[in-house]
Amino acid sequence: MAVVPSRFDEESPMTHTPQDPIVVLGGGPAGMASALALRTAGHDVVILERYREARPAGNILNLWPPPIKALGLMGVDTTDLGAPCHSTFRNARGDIRADVQIPDDVVTAYGGGFIGMLRPDLYRRMLAALPDGMLQTNQEVVGIRDTGGEVVLTLKDGTMRRTPLLIGADGIDSIVRTHLWGVSPKREHRLQIIGGYTFDDVPAAEKGEAIIAHTRTVQGSYTSIRSDGRDGFQWWVLEACDPDAPAPADLRGHARRGARGFGAPLTTLIDHTTDDHVQRWVIRDRKPLKAWSRGRITLAGDAAHATSPYAAYGAGMSIGDGYFLGKLLAGVDLHDTAAVTAALTEYDRIRIPHTTMQVQQAYILGKVFHHAPAVLRPLRDAVMDHTSMLQKQIGERSPREIDAQLDEMGAGITAPA
């Protein structure tokens, strides 16, 4: 699919009218969050989704307090959205290697330190918050041109759309990212996740906990979830794989074999999961960019910072991107190119260091836990079991990052009077 090259001309006349809305490309969490936040900031926004509906890619999900705060401040109902959990990293015997110590006031304010939920539930809540007409489906963009005073989009059906600002929230295969920064290869983690969920009662499973455990080669994890008033559990098994090999024919059976090193309750949760509640993902990302924005175009979500689930923060960071776009563009005259580009420059300054750190940490953790040479694994595990390294990196650093994000978000998005 060709993308029309950019022609950025500061002298180009501004041809868009006040009725031209901001265009957000992509109807996932990043796109919906961007649209909701910008609407809260007083701007007219439309989401263009290439498929016939906005649909979740995956079944299980976790959110930290910053995205929960952001969702509430942009008008999404977060009441009873998921199950609050306390998080620990453990070895296969259940010994704690790192305890993620979220401050009590944060846990109280946002319904938990770590929220376990189903991805479709988040979509439903966000879709319910969108005003009628904001989400437009079957809208595939094939051409992008930034004239300086506006962005002109060409759709697959040949129609043209003009916008004062384009936000590329169109996923890891973003055409907006390619348009801005060229083609970059995906980075193979050579890892796969098989995950599922059940609402069966499994008494041995710890309620209100997010347990991330490791054998020498496999991560086996589960958390509480809550969905439509029902309590249950999600689980996942993460291991090295050949990304070019066919998927296992029996996903649930393969996951159970991978979970044998942990035993119950993880194997019991897998046994209680039906095949239609199990999915597989091959983990890939792209190396972080040094800039997201150029002219009147920027990126959000996986288009900007696709990340491994080891961060447990992909959707959360995407929601945060949208929130800060709304906050920084509140009160900005979209006719003023200098003001728009200044806001996007500040957006890059705030978001890129935070998301880059999360992406790189997730990549490194995957290497450490799943690709260490066999001869080094006993030494690695001894360090994890008998030093404070993981506690400092995960148990203490992550809560500091969460606190910093909450502080940086402030009290909300202020729309102009």
In this structure, what DSSP letter does residue 86 have? E
Q: Of the ranges 50-59, 205-214, 301-310, 337-346, which one carries the lowest mean pLDDT score? A: 50-59
Helix (H, G, I), strand (E, B) or coil at 184: coil
Q: Are strands 22-25 and 166-168 parallel, antiparallel or unpaired?
A: parallel
When pLDDT is cut at 50, 70 and 90, the band that residue 110 belongs to is: confident
Q: Given this model, what pLDDT does residue 312 score? A: 78
Q: Given this model, what pLDDT does residue 116 score? A: 96
Q: Given this model, what pLDDT does residue 56 score? A: 87
- Average model confidence (pLDDT) across the chain: 93
In angstroms, rounded to a whole number, what is the distance separating the alpha carbons of residues 171 and 30? 9
Q: Given this model, what pLDDT does residue 58 score? A: 84
Helix (H, G, I), strand (E, B) or coil at 209: strand
Residue 7 has pLDDT above 60, yes or no: no
Instruction: With beta carbons less than 8 A apart as the criterion, state whether 142 and 107 touch.
Output: no
Region 99-112: mean pLDDT is: 88
Q: Are strands 166-168 and 297-299 parallel, antiparallel or unpaired?
A: parallel
Quickly list H helices, 41-117.
65-73, 104-110
Each residue of 215-272: pLDDT tens digit?
999 999 999 999 999 999 999 999 999 999 999 999 999 999 999 999 999 999 999 9
First to last CA, the chain: 43
Residue 20 has pLDDT above 70, yes or no: yes
Residue 163 has pLDDT above 80, yes or no: yes
Residue 5 has pLDDT above 60, yes or no: no
Helix (H, G, I), strand (E, B) or coil at 133: coil
Instruction: With beta carbons less than 8 A apart as the criterion, state whether 39 and 183 touch.
Output: no
Residue 4 has pLDDT above 70, yes or no: no
Region 179-190: mean pLDDT is: 96
Most confident by average pLDDT, 17-21, 102-106, 315-319: 315-319
In angstroms, rounded to a whole number, what is the distance separating the alpha carbons of residues 71 and 36? 9
Instruction: With beta carbons less than 8 A apart as the criterion, state whether 289 and 304 touch.
Output: yes
Region 379-393: mean pLDDT is: 95
In the chain, the percentage of residues whose pLDDT exceeds 70 is 95
Residue 12 has pLDDT above 90, yes or no: no
Instruction: With beta carbons less than 8 A apart as the criterion, state whether 282 and 245 touch.
Output: no
In angstroms, rounded to a whole number, what is the distance separating the alpha carbons of residues 377 and 369? 8
Each residue of 352-375: pLDDT tens digit?
999 999 999 999 999 999 999 999
Residue 138 has pLDDT above 90, yes or no: yes
Please name the helix (run of DSSP H) or strand (run of DSSP E) that holds residue 145, with its range, or none: strand 141-146
When pLDDT is cut at 50, 70 and 90, the band that residue 416 belongs to is: low
When pLDDT is cut at 50, 70 and 90, the band that residue 64 belongs to is: very high
- Phi, psi angles (nearest 5°) of residue 227: -150, 120
| Token pair in block for residue 81 | 């959205």
Residue 144 has pLDDT above 60, yes or no: yes
Region 95-116: mean pLDDT is: 91
Q: Given this model, what pLDDT does residue 266 score? A: 98
Residue 319 has pLDDT above 80, yes or no: yes
When pLDDT is cut at 50, 70 and 90, the band that residue 19 belongs to is: low
Residue 398 has pLDDT above 90, yes or no: no
Instruction: With beta carbons less than 8 A apart as the criterion, state whether 266 and 238 touch.
Output: no
Residue 8 has pLDDT above 70, yes or no: no
